[in-house]
Structure 1
Amino acid sequence: MNDALKSQYSLIVEFLGKALGPDFEVVLHDAEDHINSIVAIANGHISQRAVGGPLTNFGLEVISNENYKDKNFKLNYNGVSKDHRILRSSTMFIKDDDKNIVGMLCINFDDRRYKNISDQILKLCHPDMLIESNNAYESVDSLVSNAGETFYGSAIEEADTVIKNYLTQHNTSIDRLVQDDRIDIVDILNQKGIFKLKGAVRTVAKQLGCSEPTIYRYLSKL
């Protein structure tokens, strides 16, 4: 993303952050820099991120799968913060004259305060049945595992979460993983675009207890 666009959209981030209020996080990503992708951010307390943070798994998948080619934005999908708070997220794709993606303008809405008020009001009417029927999802954990976007501070955190989920789902441990298991995990991480991040191969190899050449060999098989 060139300096003119960064300056223009950084001002928009500041404006939207102040206009929408503290429950809305506004983030500008440079799609050409996956490691230090966050160029500007307002209300970063929501996801606990700051300028210089990496691109999210959603952003990596958008670039990897070229989902931006036939659309200009994606609205109202689930995001999950580092502390497992559910956010409602929307992203606009910033493109150059050749329709290549150069940046992303993201808005993440934290509805906790409004949900708490809603729950309190419903409890006045009927304390159990209405609250239960008003829930949009079974549990935070179930939504976290299927979230469209997760906000982590590094590739290490992202890879660690994927591996832990895999171990839990398959009721196993790192030392009991066979080659097919490791290939499956590498496949999942690859689909999420993790290996586009610098140092990701080294990180995953260490977490899976194998060598970097082994990870590259798995990737070549995939």
Structure 2
Amino acid sequence: MSENMDRFLPLTQFIAEMMGPDTEVILYEVETRSVYHVVNPFDEEMVVGSEMRSLERGFLEERRYERNDFIVNYRALSKRKNKLKSATLFLRNDAHELMAVLTVNQNVDRLVELRDLLNVMVSGQHPYDAEPGTSFYNSFDISVEGMVSHTIRDELDKYQLDPIRLSQQEKLEIVRSLDQKGIFLVKGAIAELAECLHTTETTIYRYLNKLNSAEKE
């Protein structure tokens, strides 16, 4: 089996070299559900022979590989709470049998910081706050943070319920709508929504992953 698994090592190394040190590349062996090779591990427990992470195990248990060759651009959090953009590729042998799982996790924290720097360059260090009651759609000068808060409030107002009384499906639809508007590209948006919905950031990420998985089916 190891000789067959070795065929995927150049691909693993290639991706790691191309993406750089902020990208963790993990090659799992399906038969043992363990790490066969890893480059740039994000935590000390991710070593050769360690157990496959729960997310990838879930993909196997759901038999996602029967419907998709790969899953890309889903969101995750590292053990150290770094924001990740992730992708998983299902690798097969010559008989088209699932043999390995390759997961790429890119730490996007520094990209988020760069995005925030660009926001400051565009809007200034202290952007003009629109007058109360002014729609941000008509105000070029409103701050990015204000736009996020306003957009979240608008979305919640559609339901005319205290957020704590919203059902899980209603919360999922709110996350879907905000994601389509690009709100989660703004730093702090997920934390603010979690607070408004009386839930956790981890739950919001779980909603986003669920939506992303549904779109791939």
TM-score (norm 2): 0.58
Q: 1:145 is aligned with what amino acid?
A: T
* Aligned residue in 2 for 1:50: 47
The runs of 5 or more residues in structure 1 that have no matched partner are: 149-222
- What RMSD, in angstroms, separates the aligned Cα atoms of the two structures? 2.5
The yes-or-no answer on 1:130 pairing with 2:127 is no
2:68 maps to which residue?
Answer: 71
User: For residues 80 and 69 of structure 2, what CA distance do their matches in structure 1 show?
Assistant: 30
8 A contact 1:84–1:144 mirrored in 2: no
Q: What TM-score do you get using the length of structure 1 for normalisation?
A: 0.57
Tell me, in whole angstroms, the C-alpha distance in 1 between the residues paired with 2:31 and 2:119: 47
Please say if residues 123 and 131 of structure 1, whose CA atoms lie closer than 8 Å, have aligned partners that are also in contact: no
| Other structure's SS at 1:68 match | helix
The residue correspondences of 1:73-222 to structure 2 (distance < 5 A) are: 73-124=70-121, 125-127=123-125, 129-131=143-145, 133=148, 134-135=185-186, 137-139=189-191, 142-147=200-205
Closer, same or farther in 2 for the Cα pair 1:40/1:146, shift >3 Å? farther
Secondary structure of 2:99's aligned partner: strand
Query: Aligned pair in 2 of structure 1 residues 98, 45: CA closer, same or farther (>3 Å)?
Result: same
User: Displacement of 1:11 after TM fit?
Assistant: 2.5
Q: Which runs of 5+ in 2 are unaligned?
A: 128-142, 149-184, 207-217
Counterpart for residue 5 of structure 2: 6
The aligned amino acid for 2:9 is S
1:138-193 deviation digits (Å, cap 9, x = unpaired): 22884423546xxxxxxxxxxxxxxxxxxxxxxxxxxxxxxxxxxxxxxxxxxxxx
* In structure 2, distance between residues paired with 1:115 and 1:69: 34
Whole-angstrom CA distance in 2 between matches of 1:114 and 1:131: 18
Say whether residues 1:32 and 2:46 are aligned partners: no
Larger Rg: 2
Deviations 1:113-142 (A, max 9, x none): 121122123124244622464526422884
Structure 2 counterpart of 1:19: 18
The Cα of 1:80 is off from its aligned counterpart by 1.4
Structure 1 moving runs of 4+ over 6 Å: none
| 1:56-100 residue CA offsets vs partner (Å, 9 max, x unmatched) | 222211211211112100011112111111201101001234543
C-alpha distance in structure 2 between counterparts of 1:33 and 1:145, whole Å: 30
Amino acid at match of 1:135: V
